[in-house]
Homo-oligomer: A and B are copies of this chain.
Amino acid sequence: MNVVAYRPTPEEYSYTFGGRAPVAKVRPGTVLELFTEDCFAGRVRTVDDLPSVVCEFPFLNPVTGPFHVEGAEPGDTLALHFVSITPARDWAMSSTFPHFGALTATHTTAMLHPPLEERVWRYDLDLARGVAVYQARNSDYRVELPLDPMHGTVGVAPAAGEVKMTITPDAHGGNMDTPELRAGVTVYLGVNVEGGLFAIGDGHGRQGHGEVCGTALETAMNTVVVVELIKGVATPWPRMEDDLHLMSTGSARPLEDAYRVSQHDLVTWTSSLTGLDTLDAYQLISQAGEAPVGNVCDTNYTMVAKVAKSHLLGPDAYDAVHARLRALGAEYLSSR
């Protein structure tokens, strides 16, 4: 087992997908132990640290990477299996941010309202008990919420020579902000440039559906990922797989287009796996499919289309790479 650990210095954080030289080359099959900083680049540490004061645009949402995967070429697919996602601190921060979020005027949903109040919340994380503590700012109200660690951001260098801020989700991945991206999940990303150049960041202790106020329980993460390369198979939009489900994503505006992209990809993907014709697959997904909301606050919105494998007869996706990586991850975990 080839295990590589990497912890970036602040100077090594990336704030874009594309436009950056890789921080390292990795061979397919490598187990990567990564540290990721939170979306505030670690600068919001108390409820008095207003993000608009302590953070500086565009130095938001740093990612760890990019990593060059040896042998990856346009038309291939990267498989990133998330073995574990563990908060690296016993606290997480959340906040409103001026003109950002789903229930506020924004840069593009431009209105004449002044921004909502900028307010910061601090959550205590109890990893042993698996809970995060919400503490209201204007009352004594406290309540425990289950931890459900995930990464908001994972992606590769975009196609067509584009460089995108890490806060933007699109066909290359990016800031999809879906709670489905948990430990145990394999993410499939289409390769657009030599080496793929994937990066990971934006750890959340947990997140509601849509990330309605614009931020989740933002925290640094210690994350273990197995990197695999699938040659000669293209993936049009990011996909995910866990032991029980296949998932497609779509990131676009308006939100129905994100829904359309994700459902369209799941229909065509399952059609190809099952041998059902397109309309028969459309019908099956219409009845068996789920549609977990990713984000409704970022520069593109993200929807996930999801179906239980138990409803699909046919060969495993991507030649069963998920099962192999899952096994490798289990082996890694048992070896620690």
Residues of A in contact with B (beta carbons under 8 Å apart): 15-16, 18-19, 57-58, 94, 96, 102-105, 107-114, 116-117, 119, 121, 132, 134, 136-139, 141, 143, 145, 159-165, 206-217, 250, 252-257, 259-261, 263-265, 267, 274-280, 282-291, 293, 296, 301, 311-313
Per assembly, the copies of the chain total 4
**Chain B residue at minimal CB-CB distance from A96:** B279
14 residue pairs of the A-B complex, CB under 8 angstroms, read A58-B159, A102-B263, A108-B252, A109-B257, A110-B257, A136-B276, A136-B284, A137-B280, A138-B276, A163-B163, A207-B287, A209-B290, A213-B283, A253-B257
CA distance A265 to B111 in the complex (A): 10
Asked if residues A160 and B15 are in contact (CB atoms below 8 Å), the reply is: yes
Pick the most buried of A18, A255, A265: most chain B CB atoms within 10 A of its CB.
Answer: A255
Asked if residues A103 and B163 are in contact (CB atoms below 8 Å), the reply is: no
Q: Which residues of B contact A206 (CB under 8 A)?
A: 287
| Contact among B212, B252, B280, B287 for A263, CB-based, below 8 A | B212
A322 CB to closest chain B CB (Å) equals 20
Q: Which residues of B contact A274 (CB under 8 A)?
A: 141
CA distance A106 to B52 in the complex (A): 27
Main secondary structure of the interface of A (DSSP, over half): loop
Asked if residues A161 and B94 are in contact (CB atoms below 8 Å), the reply is: no
Q: Which residues of B contact A265 (CB under 8 A)?
A: 110
A133 CB to closest chain B CB (Å) equals 11
Asked if residues B134 and A284 are in contact (CB atoms below 8 Å), the reply is: yes
Q: Which residues of B contact A119 (CB under 8 A)?
A: 279, 283
CA distance A211 to B161 in the complex (A): 26
**Chain B residue at minimal CB-CB distance from A275:** B139
Contact status of A301 and B256, CB under 8 A, knowing A103-B110, A282-B212, A287-B217:
yes
**Chain B residue at minimal CB-CB distance from A306:** B209
CA distance A23 to B121 in the complex (A): 49
Pick the most buried of A111, A265, A277: most chain B CB atoms within 10 A of its CB.
Answer: A111
CA distance A252 to B108 in the complex (A): 7
Asked if residues B313 and A112 are in contact (CB atoms below 8 Å), the reply is: no
Asked if residues A161 and B19 are in contact (CB atoms below 8 Å), the reply is: yes
Asked if residues B282 and A103 are in contact (CB atoms below 8 Å), the reply is: yes
Pick the most buried of A94, A211, A263, A267: most chain B CB atoms within 10 A of its CB.
Answer: A263
Contact status of A112 and B165, CB under 8 A, knowing A94-B287, A103-B263, A301-B256:
no
Asked if residues A111 and B121 are in contact (CB atoms below 8 Å), the reply is: no
| Contact among B165, B259, B276, B284 for A160, CB-based, below 8 A | B165
Asked if residues B267 and A112 are in contact (CB atoms below 8 Å), the reply is: yes
A108 CB to closest chain B CB (Å) equals 4
Asked if residues A260 and B121 are in contact (CB atoms below 8 Å), the reply is: no
Asked if residues A141 and B280 are in contact (CB atoms below 8 Å), the reply is: yes
Asked if residues A286 and B143 are in contact (CB atoms below 8 Å), the reply is: no
| Contact among B164, B252, B264 for A253, CB-based, below 8 A | B252
**Chain B residue at minimal CB-CB distance from A171:** B107
Q: Which residues of B contact A138 (CB under 8 A)?
A: 276-277, 279-280
